[in-house]
A and B are shown apart, each in its own frame.
Chain A
Amino acid sequence: GNSVTQMEGPVTLSEEAFLTINCTYTATGYPSLFWYVQYPGEGLQLLLKATKADDKGSNKGFEATYRKETTSFHLEKGSVQVSDSAVYFCALSDYSGAGSYQLTFGKGTKLSVIP
């Protein structure tokens, strides 16, 4: 079956530091890949996505590139801010036809950014 593995947290960084959160996946077929973010007390929000190999998703200074050869989708940001403190989830989308469609999530990585 499908699975997503992302680096264990928590991750604590100083403001303006570089961020990398690793994500690797196992899937049959050609999944789409996502990063979702969950701020304290809220639901998940889509941060970025990529639909095919070598695609780069980007949003709010965050980037991730779909690497089929390494089955990875690592999240990066060049300079984090305190407002980026949240839990980040890597996910893949698997569509197997006849209306069957679901997301598989990693366990989440908690990021804390300190001033």
Chain B
Amino acid sequence: DAGVIQSPRHEVTEMGQEVTLRCKPISGHDYLFWYRQTMMRGLELLIYFNNNVPIDDSGMPEDRFSAKMPNASFSTLKIQPSEPRDSAVYFCASSAPGLAVTTDTQYFGPGTRLTVL
């Protein structure tokens, strides 16, 4: 299994530009999570999906952030317009809880390091 795939691995952009981060979850997993990691705030959950439907987006910091999951094998996180304070590492994770939701493992991708100048 290829694991969770994220692209790009690194993104450098200028303030005001649109940024799109991509994620391919592990095949068969029905939960998908987007996290942001910074030194100041640690690891924060932004949004998660179950069966392609957004369940909780309360962690999305502002309306500039949006996420979609058009099908079971693809999700995007978009920032428009981007700002320097959005600089962080963004992780995607997936899981397949089945009957044991609270015990299942989230599998993380390698992350996208975003730098907004």
Contacts and interface: CB of A to CB of B under 8 A. Distances in A.
Contacts of A100: 55-56
Contact of A95 (B93, B101, B106, B107): B101
Contact of B102 (A31, A45, A99, A105): A31
B25 interface: no
A106 B97 CA distance: 22
A49 B42 contact: no
B91 A44 contact: yes
Contact of A101 (B4, B43, B97, B108): B97
Contact of A108 (B42, B56, B97): B42
Contacts, number: 59
Interface residues of B, number: 23
B30 to A, nearest CB: 10
A94 B102 contact: yes
Contacts of A103: 33, 45, 106
Nearest to A108: B42
A93 interface: yes
A105 B43 contact: yes
Contacts of B111: 42-43
Contact of A43 (B31, B48, B105, B110): B110
A13 B39 CA distance: 22
A49 B103 CA distance: 8
Contacts of B97: 101
Contacts of B107: 46
A46 B101 CA distance: 15
A50 B108 CA distance: 19
Contacts of A56: none
Interface of A: 31-32, 41-46, 49, 51, 89, 93-95, 99-108
Interface of B: 4, 31, 33, 42-43, 45, 48, 50, 55-56, 91, 93, 97, 101-103, 105-111
